[in-house]
Structure 1
């Protein structure tokens, strides 16, 4: 199997080609190699196994049953079998997680436990935190590359630093299999002229070497006018294990995205109108481009069962570009938009278009993360595990824009209009650059008191330095030198009355930046990070001889240090507070006769406790982008060894798009189905139906009455193969 994808980055093809040359077995070897891989149809619940050690919720590699926190694991093979087309789609099927993505944040932002955005729900790749620029992240790019996704709900600052009060999402990429050769691929076509092709290969390449290479390409005409998109992703990994105790892994991942240039659909008279649901009010020449490249070197050394040393060095580059007409609103009879645009002089009954915006992010992140783990038996039934380590990052960002250009305003008929072109009187040029340096040291410890009780605690000290220079043509001026430092910690206890049941409680602290760390402004220089804490109690169980799992958690998070006012005439201070309390539950069961169920749900109450801005008092209101009810249900049935059916329900409750709760986004429910037929034990045909009942719903809003709509009903057919 081979893939040809047009691209300009020839060095990435060289990397992929080198991977083939080093390790791809010949056809003869492939035919004689022993294969122990499973059939092509994915069965069972690998994502729900609570007994498998996991390094995301604890650096001590504890299993979810041993961890006093809520951890969800989504298996990559299940993601691909369900037909999720974006990583955020898969992430939002986990308990308490919803997507709040739009083009402004890279389409990757999430909400968890009453908090939303890149500043409160941290994103990681292979355990390395990603630093957003102006609230934007665009990497990793494709579900094909994913081995699994780990989601830690609740504060994760003690593990990964600032920006993780709501949770942390860790995407782990596919890795080499040193025991056997694996080759897999898929090709699919469907509604909206959607096409996808992907392939990968990996396995041993000698006594000490193993490799993995992957490539994926997607394109679509989209579900709005001028909604074309395309993307491709490439990955190559080489692992060298000269001894049983030492492994060195080198990998390179590249993603290129040209997403749908769609910033949302304006409501008409406050309602979603069937007449403009498929219209795109952006200009015909608007564009969005994301290019990301990650290179890493990982060393793992285990000289004994009592000692483990690990270090990962990495470099990530991101180049993101936007030039679009972004804001649209329907003009009411008073000549003004609901968002205040129009100034009362716009033409009633027209769509008012404005906010011509051009931005370029040129960002590079270098980092190194190392740790040493000590496992010490103390006495019979008493042991202690300790990990200590460091985390260092340097992020350089050049931020270019065309802010201040003459505004481009047009008024068009809501249903029949010429999209026009961008008129940029100023041009996009570098306006400022920042250098962000992060140093952190951390430690985590587990004291096991016999067979039933353990105490887990951790602490992290982090220091951040942000420097900023303004750019005016060929000259620069130093504008900001901001220092931030925080200490976060957590302590919890786990009680296991029997090996398959855990009861736990935990107290954890966290830190969120005001905005985005790498784009810290001079207006924020006098303020520090916001801080928070969480109390969580819960239970986890494995039952039915391992065929079923269940988790239940109750929590309360309080965040203080929001920028607010004590009175309408007071200056802005860090005196605001918000909180969230809720319950999350999940269950997964393999039933007789090939049936299975995976279900989760979350109910929470998120509110501003003390938050005033000007004359507006928002106390008691729900923060924007936070649904307070969420649920996911997947039913699966392996009717025969060759036929499998899946049906998934996703429910997201109502949200608000403003602090005053004046603009409401209705809740929605969508149903996705998949029918798979195994032509052979290694080849399957999948029929995916997305949004079966063609629900009209908003994923998020871009402005108070500009909804980013989800995909309408679509049918895709794909062919999968694995050898």
Structure 2
């Protein structure tokens, strides 16, 4: 925590119980009262307790946009919808899982199980890792088989920014719904030491260590380590893992900076794939049972290395380059599909899966920024090469057992062998310009061209092939300042994503091109004395999704259409020096405009799976100060409307509202103790669900959980 002296006369003007609103910041700044002698000509001031200037927990409208545009314009001036969540905000809510942090932003619904660290979301009517992307410091990594396990938790990060709608200009393909960019903590010249210790329900525990500072006049560093363990809420849901994040910065001059980053993570997630359902609803008597095999296993290991260079040539021109390499080794051995027959009281188990992913990605991004009069121009070239190796047992098996039977072991006696390898080389060329037409009008325009050369080599069989994929994305946005604190905006944008993960394209997908999505969006952003609020309305139309040939329902073709339209509202209100409210609400009307499934069944007009029409989040915080320190009590609610588990819209998962509470005590400026209770009422609800010919199951939301953490900095 940083400290600075404030003249006593200024402190005397502030009530002792008041947390002063400051400009947005991700740190707390303690203000110590000075004990300097007061001239006799002035009146005597009373001795007051320490006054703490809190970071302005808000929507980040005054912050420079690092995730919505590469030009660095303020978020308030960005003609697009962008959510901003900083470390203080998620700490006050008691959130540490990245899925929870992102999932509380407007209109974003997590889909992956709370016990399984893979980041998958639904927003603006689109779901999954193809349409909702995850980036770290602006870099999106390749996705294989819809697996995005990193970053799983918040330790080592300072904020999360979520850009909604097609984001291909900034992040490339695969972001029709949204992209969440997770920004890590940076090296500083100031010495920083941080410790997190936590324990909670189900035998859970966690430990985080963070440190940074100067090594010399030109060298500084940041190091973060984190480990966690839990026995889990359900049978065979034990999970553990850890990570190490490091950054070394060399800055020989004010204009030149080099950074080297190296990270490793090792996770053993819970071996839990949900519980059987009937018509989309969880069967309470089966809850807690795990129908996976006793000797199931999951292992996920990631390594990352990055090198960055930035040179400020002059006040108008800067150059930057980032070279990175990523490697992931992942292994699964599980029975992942379950179907329940209530009449026969049996469970049919399928998807006996044993497989490995060997994923490597190397990339380089060269970028230049130029300020020329009223223009802020960015031009860049990014090249990536991803290699993917897939091995599996090729075991296709199902078995039906009585519900009360305990499945003992793995029936698969087939050895796991390499099946195929793929390689994708992508070149991205992009340009973006923020033109300040005058003091009130700003025009943001951008274009990006993506070109991918894909090669698949089948190690068994004769299904090898090569393919080229190309796409052009663009956006045109205009923002108008009604006042210094209020902006209106409108934008039209186009993005694209593949019909499936590029790295796992097979011969059946070879004929297909990238799908195209176009969005129109209008919005309002405003700051005022008591807080901030934003509003956005949009419509997205996506074409060329996979459907069936109307003349031959056995043949898959492109030509389907999907659309959504909706409203999103977000606000932070400071009702008094002690009370603060945070809330958001999203309505989405999504449907398949044209979709034919197997057997010629027409799904046009149906709602896509796991898309809720209404979602909302609300937090109320009460803060008070006394001689014992700072005390904050918080109460939050998350509401998600009903969803369907199938395209036929017959298997419905009921909507839910879950209440959370948090209590924090800060006896000293550098120590905080937190008590968090998740799901206060221990409500049973469905997190996400699927319904198909071989599986009808759901991931239940976690039950009541109590966590106690202690945070220290020195």
TM-score by length of 1: 0.89
Query: Within 1, Cα distance between the matches of 2:666 and 2:113?
Result: 37
Instruction: Specify the SS of the correspondent of 2:152.
Output: coil
1:164 to 169, 175, 180: 175
Query: Within 2, Cα distance between the matches of 1:98 and 1:46?
Result: 22
Q: Deviation per CA, 1:31-87, whole angstroms, max 9, x where unpaired?
A: xxxxx9635999454452201112110010111111100001111232234222311
Q: Does 1:629 align with 2:614?
A: yes
8 Å CA contact 2:365–2:383 kept in 1: the answer is yes
Aligned to 1:352: 348
Q: Does 1:238 align with 2:248?
A: yes
Aligned to 2:200: 190
Q: Does 1:709 align with 2:693?
A: no
Query: Within 2, Cα distance between the matches of 1:585 and 1:261?
Result: 37
Q: Does 1:295 align with 2:316?
A: no
Query: Within 1, Cα distance between the matches of 2:295 and 2:681?
Result: 33
Query: Within 1, Cα distance between the matches of 2:257 and 2:406?
Result: 59
Alignment of 1:29-44 (within 5 A): 38=29, 43-44=54-55
8 Å CA contact 2:58–2:532 kept in 1: the answer is no
Q: Does 1:64 align with 2:60?
A: no
Change (3 A) 1:595 1:419: same
Instruction: Specify the SS of the correspondent of 2:271.
Output: coil
Query: Within 1, Cα distance between the matches of 2:472 and 2:113?
Result: 32
Query: Within 2, Cα distance between the matches of 1:268 and 1:524?
Result: 33
Query: Within 1, Cα distance between the matches of 2:451 and 2:58?
Result: 35
Q: Does 1:553 align with 2:536?
A: yes
Instruction: Specify the SS of the correspondent of 1:219.
Output: strand
Aligned to 1:693: 681
8 Å CA contact 1:105–1:135 kept in 2: the answer is no
Query: Within 2, Cα distance between the matches of 1:667 and 1:246?
Result: 53
Alignment of 1:543-692 (within 5 A): 543-544=528-529, 547-567=530-550, 569=552, 571-613=555-597, 614-640=599-625, 641-692=629-680
Aligned to 2:215: 205
Query: Within 2, Cα distance between the matches of 1:158 and 1:211?
Result: 31
Instruction: Specify the SS of the correspondent of 1:192.
Output: helix
Aligned to 1:368: 364
8 Å CA contact 1:87–1:141 kept in 2: the answer is yes
CA drift of 1:593 comes to 3.1
Instruction: Specify the SS of the correspondent of 1:518.
Output: helix
Q: Deviation per CA, 1:371-426, whole angstroms, max 9, x where unpaired?
A: 1011011xxxxx111110011100000011122x252524132xx33231112121
Instruction: Specify the SS of the correspondent of 2:100.
Output: helix
Change (3 A) 1:42 1:264: farther
Q: Deviation per CA, 1:181-208, whole angstroms, max 9, x where unpaired?
A: 1111111111101111111111122211
Instruction: Specify the SS of the correspondent of 1:565.
Output: strand
Aligned to 1:535: 520
CA drift of 1:332 comes to 4.4
Q: Does 1:277 align with 2:277?
A: no
Query: Within 2, Cα distance between the matches of 1:674 and 1:167?
Result: 29
8 Å CA contact 1:102–1:108 kept in 2: the answer is no
Q: Deviation per CA, 1:213-233, whole angstroms, max 9, x where unpaired?
A: 111111101110121000111
Alignment of 1:218-367 (within 5 A): 218-267=228-277, 271-333=281-343, 348-367=344-363
- Count residues with an aligned counterpart: 660
Aligned to 1:523: 508
8 Å CA contact 1:112–1:166 kept in 2: the answer is yes
Change (3 A) 1:681 1:104: closer
Instruction: Specify the SS of the correspondent of 2:79.
Output: coil
2:466 to 461, 471, 481: 481
CA drift of 1:486 comes to 0.8
Change (3 A) 1:600 1:42: farther
Query: Within 1, Cα distance between the matches of 2:385 and 2:537?
Result: 37
Q: RMSD of the alignment, in Å?
A: 1.9
CA drift of 1:590 comes to 2.2
Query: Within 1, Cα distance between the matches of 2:656 and 2:480?
Result: 38
Query: Within 2, Cα distance between the matches of 1:42 and 1:267?
Result: 50
CA drift of 1:349 comes to 1.4
Q: Deviation per CA, 1:65-123, whole angstroms, max 9, x where unpaired?
A: 11100001111232234222311110001111111114999521111111011110111
Point out where structure 1 has 5 or more consecutive residues left out of the alignment: 1-35, 334-347, 378-382
CA drift of 1:501 comes to 0.7
Instruction: Specify the SS of the correspondent of 1:642.
Output: strand
CA drift of 1:267 comes to 2.3
Q: Deviation per CA, 1:564-587, whole angstroms, max 9, x where unpaired?
A: 135253643211100000000100
Change (3 A) 1:125 1:88: same
8 Å CA contact 1:453–1:495 kept in 2: the answer is yes
Aligned to 1:5: none
8 Å CA contact 2:116–2:270 kept in 1: the answer is no
Q: Deviation per CA, 1:9-30, whole angstroms, max 9, x where unpaired?
A: xxxxxxxxxxxxxxxxxxxxxx
Query: Within 2, Cα distance between the matches of 1:688 and 1:530?
Result: 43
Point out where structure 2 has 5 or more consecutive residues left out of the alignment: 1-26, 32-51
Instruction: Specify the SS of the correspondent of 2:464.
Output: strand
Aligned to 1:388: 379
CA drift of 1:160 comes to 1.6
Query: Within 1, Cα distance between the matches of 2:639 and 2:28?
Result: 35
Query: Within 2, Cα distance between the matches of 1:106 and 1:162?
Result: 23
Aligned to 1:494: 479
CA drift of 1:275 comes to 2.3
Aligned to 2:126: 115
Query: Within 2, Cα distance between the matches of 1:104 and 1:188?
Result: 18
2:85 to 74, 87, 92: 74
Instruction: Specify the SS of the correspondent of 1:607.
Output: strand
TM-score by length of 2: 0.90
Query: Within 1, Cα distance between the matches of 2:676 and 2:153?
Result: 18
Q: Deviation per CA, 1:320-347, whole angstroms, max 9, x where unpaired?
A: 11101111121144xxxxxxxxxxxxxx
8 Å CA contact 1:103–1:263 kept in 2: the answer is no
Instruction: Specify the SS of the correspondent of 1:77.
Output: helix
8 Å CA contact 2:271–2:297 kept in 1: the answer is yes
CA drift of 1:290 comes to 0.9
CA drift of 1:167 comes to 1.2
Deviates more, 1:77-86 or 1:665-674: 77-86
Query: Within 1, Cα distance between the matches of 2:636 and 2:322?
Result: 38
Instruction: Specify the SS of the correspondent of 1:494.
Output: strand
Change (3 A) 1:37 1:65: closer
2:421 to 413, 430, 433: 433
